[in-house]
């Protein structure tokens, strides 16, 4: 097949590589002139990133790894062990490595080319791109939209120089509507990323947090080096065709394939790219669309359950929120390190603590370990 991938982010680059390795002819269009830039993401992932993207540990440009982190809310501070370990990626280098791997497997990367039109045509697709001056036209058998988040919270982070915790921290602020949290992530020697995401006034909220005594007790910020951000996906997926382009399949952030508790999508982008590529492998190309649809709906059902529990958490008054993170959850997390990419067990324990057994039963989430 002639396959066109819209977007040279992690999802599009992995997808291009997987399709190329299957012998398909692949072009990736990336609107920016340089892969990996501008940066928007923190790059905090679990060690599962290696398997998800098919990269060796030595190739992944890990800045630092962590066996534990901290949750801070009210006057409480709670330690959480991670299993597998969490790590911070050198994000730009990671994408460059993925681009190299896609090229080496035969995919063609066209940077500085924005896709402005794609639509179903006869048995395939027609597509138009522009470099800002000229419009070019292409035909393909399959087009996949991996162009990133289109809707979400506005995420912002400061890269700062300072001295503080040696592990990642997540802060829940009582005064902030709990649409999200603040994060502090060490990024090498005396460097940190401090960020948040919000529906409105993100910069104002982040600035207030930066000068708060709560943060100052943990992190002594000497200098703000730069600011960057982007959209953080927090809504569940809708459909495998939920692209701005007509009849085009979606994967990655464009398909809302993220861990809904945090919006972390690097691992889940890879999971969706792999599901899509394997839906179209060799002799089952004719069923590719329905194979991917089946995977998409099974995943959507799963994500919706946790979206529901997450919404409950976000709307809890402070006293109940503290209960949800109370002794039961603390004991649970003491006994079980947090599976970094799956927060379901810990959300479930919190919901049990709140006496939501019946709701958990209805959702089929009531099995306790
Ligand atoms: C502030 C912030 C912090 C984050 N932190 C984390 C984290 O710590 N851990 C984690 O796992 N995830 C994190 N994420 C989410 C993570 O960045 C995404 O899940 C991941 O980048 C999704 O990859 P993707 O390839 O689907 O989309 P993207 O990385 O967004 O890539 C899409 C690409 O498509 C290109 N593009 C868009 N439109 C077009 C077009 N019309 N034509 C051509 N090219 C186009 C874009 O330029 C971009 O390069 C964070 C996100 C934000 C905003």
Q: Is 12 in the pocket of ligand 1 (CB under 6 A)?
A: yes
Phi/psi at 139 (nearest 5 deg)? -120, 145
Parallel/antiparallel/unpaired status of strands 2-6 and 142-145: parallel
> Would you state the pLDDT for residue 369?
47
Ordered domains of the chain (ranges, CATH) = 2-39+90-150+239-304 (3.50.50.60), 57-89+151-232 (3.30.9.10), 306-363 (no CATH)
In a 3-state reduction of DSSP, which class is residue 363? helix
**Side-chain half-sphere of 315: how many Cα atoms within 13 Å?**
6
Q: Is 159 in the pocket of ligand 1 (CB under 6 A)?
A: no
Q: Under 8 Å CB-to-CB from 151, ≥6 apart: which residues?
A: 231, 233, 235
pLDDT < 70 positions in the chain? 174-178, 282-286, 365-369
Cβ atoms of 257 and 269 closer than 8 Å = yes
Q: Which of 52, 54, 76, 50 is nearest to 65 (CA)?
A: 50
Q: Is 231 in the pocket of ligand 1 (CB under 6 A)?
A: yes
Q: What digits encode the pLDDT tens for the residues 171-225?
A: 987 655 567 889 999 999 999 999 999 989 999 999 999 999 999 999 999 999 9
Residue 228 alpha carbon, nearest atom of ligand 1: 1
Please give the biggest Cα pair distance in the chain.
Answer: 63
> For residue 355, how far is its CA from the centre of ligand 1 (angstroms)?
37
Residue 258 alpha carbon, nearest atom of ligand 1: 19
Q: Is 152 in the pocket of ligand 1 (CB under 6 A)?
A: no
Roughly what angle, to the nearest 10 degrees, separates helices 327-335 and 344-353? 150
Cβ atoms of 90 and 191 closer than 8 Å = no
Which among 29, 49, 97, 266 is the best mutation to test ligand 1's pocket, defined by most ligand atoms within 8 Å of the CB? 266
Distance of alpha carbon 175 from alpha carbon 171, whole angstroms: 12
> For residue 203, how far is its CA from the centre of ligand 1 (angstroms)?
20
DSSP structural state of residue 38: S
Q: Under 8 Å CB-to-CB from 194, ≥6 apart: which residues?
A: 157, 158, 160, 182, 183, 184, 206, 209, 210, 215, 219, 221
Cβ atoms of 19 and 281 closer than 8 Å = no
Element (H, E) at 86: strand 76-89
Q: Which of 201, 213, 202, 203 is nearest to 72 (CA)?
A: 213
Q: Is 253 in the pocket of ligand 1 (CB under 6 A)?
A: yes
Q: Is 35 in the pocket of ligand 1 (CB under 6 A)?
A: no
> Would you state the pLDDT for residue 335?
77
In a 3-state reduction of DSSP, which class is residue 239? coil
- Separation in Å, CA 139 to CA 26, 27, 119, 189: 12, 11, 10, 49
Q: Is 269 in the pocket of ligand 1 (CB under 6 A)?
A: yes
Element (H, E) at 175: none
CA-proximal residue: ligand 1, atom 41 (nearest): 115
Which among 66, 263, 270 is the best mutation to test ligand 1's pocket, defined by most ligand atoms within 8 Å of the CB? 263
> Would you state the pLDDT for residue 174?
65
Q: Is 230 in the pocket of ligand 1 (CB under 6 A)?
A: yes
């Amino acid at each position: 097949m002639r396959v066109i991938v819209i977007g040279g982010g992690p999802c599009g680059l992995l997808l291009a590589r997987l399709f190329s390795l299957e012998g398909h002819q692949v072009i990736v269009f990336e609107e920016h002139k340089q892969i990996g830039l501008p940066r928007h993401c923190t790059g905090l992932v679990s060690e599962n990133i290696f398997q998800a993207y098919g990269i060796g540990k030595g190739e992944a440009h890990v800045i630092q790894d962590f066996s534990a982190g901290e949750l801070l809310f009210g006057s409480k501070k709670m330690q959480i062990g991670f299993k597998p370990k969490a790590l911070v990626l050198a994000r730009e280098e990671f994408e460059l490595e993925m681009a190299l791997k896609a090229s080496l497997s035969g995919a063609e990367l066209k940077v500085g080319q924005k896709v402005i039109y794609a639509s179903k045509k006869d048995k395939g697709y027609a597509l138009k791109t522009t470099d800002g001056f000229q419009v070019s036209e292409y035909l393909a058998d399959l087009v996949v939209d991996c162009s990133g988040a289109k809707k979400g919270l506005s995420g912002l982070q400061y890269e700062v120089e300072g001295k503080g915790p040696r592990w990642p921290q997540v802060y829940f602020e009582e005064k902030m509507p709990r649409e999200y949290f603040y994060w502090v992530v060490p990024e090498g020697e005396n460097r940190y990323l401090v960020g948040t995401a919000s529906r409105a006034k993100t910069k104002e909220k982040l600035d207030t947090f930066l000068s708060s005594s709560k943060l100052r007790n943990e992190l002594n910020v000497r200098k703000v080096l730069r600011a960057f951000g982007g959209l953080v996906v927090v809504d569940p997926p809708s459909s495998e065709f939920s692209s701005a382009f007509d009849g085009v399949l979606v994967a990655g952030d464009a398909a809302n394939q993220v861990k809904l508790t945090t919006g972390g999508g690097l691992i889940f982008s890879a999971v969706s790219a792999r599901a899509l590529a394997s839906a179209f492998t060799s002799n089952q190309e004719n069923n590719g669309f329905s194979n991917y649809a089946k995977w998409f709906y099974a995943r959507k059902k799963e994500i919706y359950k946790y979206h529901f529990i997450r919404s409950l958490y976000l709307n809890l008054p402070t006293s109940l929120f503290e209960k949800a993170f109370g002794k039961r959850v603390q004991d649970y997390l003491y006994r079980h390190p947090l599976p970094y990419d799956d927060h379901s067990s810990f959300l479930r324990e919190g919901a049990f603590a709140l006496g939501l057994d019946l709701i958990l039963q209805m959702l089929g989430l009531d099995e306790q370990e």
